[in-house]
């Protein structure tokens, strides 16, 4: 009976260990990095808005629309499938639904490897430490940076349309000054 109980304990601990390994896979630096798509933007594309750029006030006088919204995704050199999904889906949403805002300069989009020394300035500005999505609502010379922690609960790999809608809503709300 003791041998059977010990075997059951081992069977239970295997899934727990596997889950823990997946959870920490993105933060471990010992494995070989997965190649990532080419970064579409350089760090200089996410900068402070010029101080002579005035904010536009909405019709109801209570909401001041941003001068620009910066959508910024950071990742580590080693990337898990979920982190790769984040970038893929955010890129898709931005290019599919917000190309006009990108073209007009009302929005910028950048993807940065936090371990690349060329990205030190922007990584420091945002306080990025891993796979993270930030939305920066820029009004005049003021940054309003939001770390979007909810991205981890939006089930990127299991519900891509749902994930896309969450990201789209977030960006649209930011463009609307919310």
Q: 10 Å Cβ neighbour count for 51? A: 9
Q: Indicate if the pLDDT at residue 96 is higher than 90.
A: yes
Take residue 132 and report the two structure tokens written for it.
């993270």
Question: Residue range 41-68: average pLDDT?
Answer: 49
Give the whole-angstrom CA distance, residue 154 versus residue 173. 17
- CA distances (Å), 88 to each of 39, 106, 163, 172, in order? 12, 22, 11, 19
Q: Indicate if the pLDDT at residue 167 is higher than 60.
A: yes
In which domain, by residue range, is 133 found? Answer: 3-175
The domain total for the chain is: 1
Question: Residue range 90-99: average pLDDT?
Answer: 96
CATH of the domain at 67: 3.40.30.10
- CA distances (Å), 139 to each of 65, 70, 100, 103, in order? 8, 11, 19, 19
Q: Indicate if the pLDDT at residue 163 is higher than 80.
A: yes
Which percentage of the chain shows pLDDT scores above 90? 59
Name the pLDDT band for 61 (thresholds 50, 70, 90).
Answer: low
Residue-wise pLDDT for 100-124, tens only, equals 999 999 999 999 999 999 999 999 9
In residues, how long is the chain? 178
What's this model's pTM, rounded to 2 decimal places? 0.66
Q: Indicate if the pLDDT at residue 140 is higher than 60.
A: yes
Spell out the residues 6+ positions from residue 69 whose beta carbon is closer than 8 angstroms to its own.
101, 106, 107, 108, 135, 136, 137, 138, 171, 174, 175
- Bridge partners of 136? 70, 145
């Amino acid at each position: 009976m003791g041998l059977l109980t010990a075997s059951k304990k081992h069977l239970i601990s295997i899934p727990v260990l596997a889950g823990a390994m997946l959870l920490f896979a993105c933060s471990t630096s010992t494995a070989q990095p997965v190649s990532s798509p080419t970064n579409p933007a350089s760090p200089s594309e996410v900068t402070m808005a010029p101080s002579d750029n005035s904010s536009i006030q909405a019709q109801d006088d209570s909401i001041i629309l941003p001068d620009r919204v910066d959508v910024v995704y950071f990742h580590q050199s080693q990337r898990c499938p979920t982190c790769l999904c984040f970038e893929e889906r955010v890129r898709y949403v931005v290019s599919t639904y917000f190309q006009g805002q990108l073209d007009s300069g009302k929005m910028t989009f950048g993807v940065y490897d936090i371990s690349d020394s060329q990205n030190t300035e922007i990584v420091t500005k945002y306080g990025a430490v891993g796979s993270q999505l930030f939305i920066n609502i820029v009004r005049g010379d003021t940054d309003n940076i939001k770390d979007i922690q909810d991205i981890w609960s939006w089930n990127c790999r299991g519900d891509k349309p749902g994930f896309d809608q969450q990201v789209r809503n977030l960006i649209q709300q930011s463009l609307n000054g919310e």
